[in-house]
Amino acid sequence: MNPACLNLVEKQFFTFGEPPHELVLESGERLGPVTLAYETLGTLAPDKGNAILVVHALTGDSHVAGCYTQEDAKPGWWEIMVGPGKAIDTERYFVICANVLGGCMGSTGPSSINPVTGKPYGVSFPLVTIGDMVTAQKALVDHLGISRLLAVVGGSVGGMQVLAWCARYPEMVRAAIPLATTPRHSAQSIAFNEVARQAIMADPHWQGGDYYGQAKPDLGLAVARMIGHITYLSNESMRKKFGRQLKSRDALSFHFDAGFEVESYLRYQGNKFVERFDANSFLYLTKAADYFDLDDYAATGPGGAFKGSRTSFLVVAFTSDWLYPTEQSRALVQLLKRSGLDVSFCEIQSDWGHDAFLLPSERLHTLVEAFLSRIFRENLAGE
């Protein structure tokens, strides 16, 4: 038995949007039925006031913490933060995490069966946005009978979902914790995503997105993952992990195999990724991230996305995150303050780059735990 897997969870499914009541997407297209895979931890309070929605990053899933069986080798992706006695304490809070719309971990996406054709959607699947993902999540929250979330928490693309939740449904979000995120992608971030997408589409096995039941574009997807993974690290983290260390410590190999340890690591990450992820979903989710711009939610013009909101925010950035650098979080904080909101901000010293929010950090743990405890107390007091 894995001692870390005493907290057992079950993957569940929620389906909505049956025709003629399809989900209307930001593009104007209609999609239905829609299924979301989700998991919950903890117990929902009788007044339903202790619910926290955790939203995952680009290639994550609903399995945020806990294990499916006591023999699981690996618990959820944020086990360090979510669970009994942890920063997001499941002895106090009811935690929900759903796989995003457009994903490939149980939620409706391009690999799902199109009910009209009986075949996988492929690229006939409509383009979805971060806002569409949040609309689908709201349908799930409504289904669970929760009218107001104590908090929405997420990092990276998950942080974009946090911001979209607060802009689109401010009355439903008591508090928000966007981590290592941005109000919009820079040209550089879009450029990295486009190179990754082109790697997939250049793979001859991609076949215009119609590869299901045949050889998959594994090579292109692996290269796309390698590109993305570089942006998640930092120069210092790669120096500490790999430096210029050779796989064969005594001499250069003089061939194009992975001679350096960093080359071997990236190839391993790429090959491991293709075992669990769908190439088309990668295309759709990166495009959704590129499309996200917080100003699009401002009905009253730029900077107005949070007017009228009473949500409290904890914004966290990391010093070595060059994908979404601290300056982008500071710009978000300034926007929130101009909107008159309760905002706390912290830049955490870290050498581990963009992925730092997924790694053990006593400072992050303390910040999240204290912020949620304050919000929980205020909520009990009716503030």
Over the stretch 194-240, which tens digit does the pLDDT of each residue have?
999 999 999 999 999 999 999 999 999 999 999 999 999 999 999 99
Residue 301 has pLDDT above 60, yes or no: no
Identify which has the larger pLDDT, 259 or 99: 99
Segments of 17-108 assigned E as strands: 23-24, 30-31, 34-41, 51-55, 82-83, 88-89, 94-98
Q: Of the listed 89, 203, 321, 355, which one is catalytic?
A: 321
Residues 93/250, Cβ–Cβ less than 8 Å:
no
Per-residue model confidence (pLDDT) at position 300: 44
Using pLDDT thresholds of 50, 70 and 90, give the confidence band for residue 305. confident
Q: What whole-number distance in Å separates Cα of residue 313 and Cα of residue 173?
A: 10
Using pLDDT thresholds of 50, 70 and 90, give the confidence band for residue 372. very high
Q: What whole-number distance in Å separates Cα of residue 157 and Cα of residue 57?
A: 5
- Compute the average pLDDT of residues 36-57: 98
Mean pLDDT, the chain, rounded, equals: 94
Task: Give the max Cα distance, the chain.
Answer: 69
Q: What type of residue is 349?
A: Q
Per-residue model confidence (pLDDT) at position 383: 65
- Compute the average pLDDT of residues 250-275: 90
Q: What whole-number distance in Å separates Cα of residue 131 and Cα of residue 24?
A: 11
Identify which has the larger pLDDT, 308 or 192: 192
DSSP structure class, residue 364: H
Task: Kindly state which CATH superfamily the domain 12-184+292-381 is placed in.
Answer: Alpha/Beta hydrolase fold, catalytic domain (3.40.50.1820)
As given in the structure block, the two tokens for residue 381 are 């007091």
Q: Of the listed 62, 107, 112, 156, which one is catalytic?
A: 156
CB atoms within 10 A of CB 373: 13
What CATH architecture is 191-285? Answer: Orthogonal Bundle (1.10)
- Compute the average pLDDT of residues 163-170: 96
What residues form DSSP beta bridges with 243? none
Per-residue model confidence (pLDDT) at position 245: 87
Using pLDDT thresholds of 50, 70 and 90, give the confidence band for residue 297. confident
Q: Of the listed 56, 63, 185, 354, which one is catalytic?
A: 354
Q: DSSP assignment of 170-220, as one string?
A: GGGBSEEEEES--SB--HHHHHHHHHHHHHHHTSTTSGGG--TTS---HHH
Q: What is the pTM of this model?
A: 0.96
Ordered by start, the domain boundaries in the chain are 12-184+292-381, 191-285
Q: Is 321 a catalytic residue?
A: yes
- Compute the average pLDDT of residues 97-113: 98
Per-residue model confidence (pLDDT) at position 302: 47
Q: Which residues contact 114 (CB under 8 A, 6 or more apart)?
A: 120, 121, 124, 125
Of 151-165, 237-251, 289-303, 311-325, least confident by mean pLDDT is 289-303
Per-residue model confidence (pLDDT) at position 380: 86
Using pLDDT thresholds of 50, 70 and 90, give the confidence band for residue 3. low
